[in-house]
């Protein structure tokens, strides 16, 4: 068995409402879909999730040629071998936080798992060790800029709470901390004391400011703070980053020591995970299946598990294909103990799946069908090679 063809299609999808974070404002998102075809006709598809700089991304034909030169002729069943080699052999830019290179490597990884699962007629989560649980979800609340922002926040949170979500994560840091404090209080009033409320500061605060703001937010009742501190000097040598913001384990450790709130951090690189574990810097790793791939994420989760650090899955803002890839990992990994941000499809106007993902009572269960468990709309790959299986 070997791969004979690589196809890439690009789609643009609008968001239900414009979302704002400290690093970007988004009205619509661009996605890539990468399909691998084997010599027996078996296919696998991966998603290049929420491409953040579509104007600078390579053309689809360039991606096809680059990925094809690496994969064509390879046996897709050698997933570990291929996903370890792809970092050095697929060259589509720098491997930075949410870069096109990082997202595309994840799509290759996911497409391999989808293809091999389809070939053996088993769900991809079985290839990852088997399902251990359904995935508990958190709903991510972005900052809205309209005049009735606080009312819109209340309506959004009440809707999701009524749907069974009992964990919420608010993006903070782009408005005055006292405004964020009011937003946290509004969420807590709706969800009560039993639900979990986390905040994501996106690395925009310096050390003393981070400690002060976390203590302020503790008054409103938070259960975790993600990326509370970033170093202001973009040129400093740091083992990790949030976009271009350097993240220093020593500063994260200080926030953890000086506050009473668990500290979460995005860990998209095993080396950064090791550095955080060595400093005892955080309580929870946030790992992303769509930024680097499932195999890379498994290596990071193994570090968390070995160091006694909790873990959760973050999000790049995936549509259905990427969400199901992450769900396969979330359901199979016992290291994931905190609610995960895998509700991406619910923030978009459309998807590329024939049927939407079913969320039930704040949980996501990966399908028991082969591969990642989805059926694409037949128009996505319009060439004669477009039959999925």
As a whole number, mean pLDDT of residues 98-110 equals 97
| 278 and 155 within one domain | yes
Residue-level pLDDT at 148: 80
pLDDT tens readout for residues 174-205: 899 999 999 999 999 999 999 999 999 999 99
Residue-level pLDDT at 378: 83
As a whole number, mean pLDDT of residues 84-103 equals 96
The verdict on residue 369 lying in a domain is: no
Residue-level pLDDT at 374: 96
Residue-level pLDDT at 18: 55
| 145 and 19 within one domain | no
The verdict on residue 386 lying in a domain is: no
Model confidence at 27, in pLDDT bands (50, 70, 90)? confident
CA–CA distances in Å: residue 259 to residues 168, 228, 254: 20, 11, 9
| 144 and 39 within one domain | no
The verdict on residue 379 lying in a domain is: no
**Rounded CA separation 124/79 (Å):** 12
Query: Beta partners for 359?
Result: 364
Residue-level pLDDT at 75: 98
| 101 and 141 within one domain | no
Residue 207 · residue 229 · CB < 8 Å: yes
| 223 and 294 within one domain | yes
| Last residue of one domain, picked from the residues 65, 88, 121 | 121
| 204 and 107 within one domain | no
pLDDT tens readout for residues 197-247: 999 999 999 999 999 999 999 999 999 999 999 999 999 999 999 999 999
| 136 and 75 within one domain | no
DSSP 78: -
Q: What are phi and psi of 98, to 5 degrees?
A: 60, 25
For residue 25, the domain's CATH number is 3.30.390.10
Model confidence at 106, in pLDDT bands (50, 70, 90)? very high
Whether residue 385 is predicted with pLDDT greater than 50 in this model: the reply is no
| Last residue of one domain, picked from the residues 95, 121, 147 | 121
| 178 and 313 within one domain | yes
pTM of the predicted model as reported, rounded to 2 decimal places: 0.93
pLDDT tens readout for residues 257-301: 999 999 999 999 999 999 999 999 999 999 999 999 999 999 999
As a whole number, mean pLDDT of residues 90-99 equals 96
Whether residue 389 is predicted with pLDDT greater than 70 in this model: the reply is no
Whether residue 369 is predicted with pLDDT greater than 90 in this model: the reply is yes
Residue-level length of the chain: 389
| 10 and 91 within one domain | yes
Residue-level pLDDT at 226: 98
Residue 226: domain span: 127-364
Whether residue 370 is predicted with pLDDT greater than 90 in this model: the reply is yes
Structural Rg of the chain based on CA atoms: 20
14: left (phi over 0), alpha (psi -120 to 50) or beta: beta
The verdict on residue 344 lying in a domain is: yes
Residue-level pLDDT at 129: 95
For residue 155, the domain's CATH number is 3.20.20.120
DSSP assignments along 359-374, one per residue: EETTEE---SSSBT--
DSSP assignments along 237-301, one per residue: --SEEETTEEE-HHHHHHHHHHSSS-EEEE--SHHHHHHHHHHT--SEEEE-TTSS-HHHHHHHH
Model confidence at 321, in pLDDT bands (50, 70, 90)? very high
Model confidence at 25, in pLDDT bands (50, 70, 90)? low
The percentage of the chain sitting over the pLDDT mark of 70, rounded to a whole number, equals: 95
Whether residue 85 is predicted with pLDDT greater than 60 in this model: the reply is yes
| Last residue of one domain, picked from the residues 62, 88, 121 | 121
Average pLDDT of the chain is 94
Number of domains present in the structure of the chain: 2
């Amino acid at each position: 068995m070997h791969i004979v063809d690589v196809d890439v299609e690009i789609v643009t999808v609008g968001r239900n409402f414009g979302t704002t974070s400290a690093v970007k404002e988004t009205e619509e998102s661009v996605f890539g879909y990468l399909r691998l075809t084997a010599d027996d006709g078996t296919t696998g598809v991966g998603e290049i999730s929420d491409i953040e700089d579509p104007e600078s991304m390579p053309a689809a034909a360039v991606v096809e040629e680059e990925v094809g030169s690496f994969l064509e002729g390879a046996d897709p069943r050698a997933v570990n071998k291929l996903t370890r080699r792809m970092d050095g052999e697929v060259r589509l830019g720098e491997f930075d936080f949410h870069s096109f290179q990082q997202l595309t490597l994840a799509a290759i990884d996911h497409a391999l798992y989808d293809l091999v699962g389809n070939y053996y007629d088993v769900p991809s989560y079985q290839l990852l060790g088997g399902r251990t649980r359904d995935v508990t979800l958190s709903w991510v609340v972005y900052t809205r800029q309209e005049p009735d922002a606080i009312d819109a926040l209340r309506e959004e949170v009440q809707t999701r709470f009524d749907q069974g979500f009992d964990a919420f994560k608010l993006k903070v840091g782009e408005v005055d901390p006292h405004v964020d404090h009011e937003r946290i209080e509004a969420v807590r009033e709706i969800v009560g004391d039993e639900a979990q409320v986390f905040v994501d500061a996106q690395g925009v605060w310096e050390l003393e400011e981070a400690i002060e703001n976390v203590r302020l937010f503790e008054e409103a009742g938070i259960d975790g703070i993600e990326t509370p501190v970033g170093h202001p000097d973009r040129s400093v040598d740091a083992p990790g980053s949030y976009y271009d913001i350097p993240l220093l384990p020593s500063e994260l450790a200080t926030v953890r020591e000086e506050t009473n709130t668990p500290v979460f951090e995005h860990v998209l690189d095993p080396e950064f995970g090791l550095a955080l574990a060595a400093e005892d810097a955080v309580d929870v790793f946030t790992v992303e299946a769509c930024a680097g791939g499932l195999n890379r994420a498994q290596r990071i989760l193994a570090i968390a598990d070995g160091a006694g650090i909790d873990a959760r899955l973050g999000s790049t803002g995936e549509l259905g294909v990427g969400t199901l890839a992450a769900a396969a990992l979330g359901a199979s990994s016992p290291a994931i103990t905190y609610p995960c941000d895998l509700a991406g499809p619910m923030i978009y106007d459309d998807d590329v799946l024939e049927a939407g993902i079913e969320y039930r009572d704040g949980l996501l269960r990966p399908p028991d069908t082969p591969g990642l468990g989805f059926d694409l709309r037949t128009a996505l790959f319009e060439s004669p090679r477009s039959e999925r299986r």
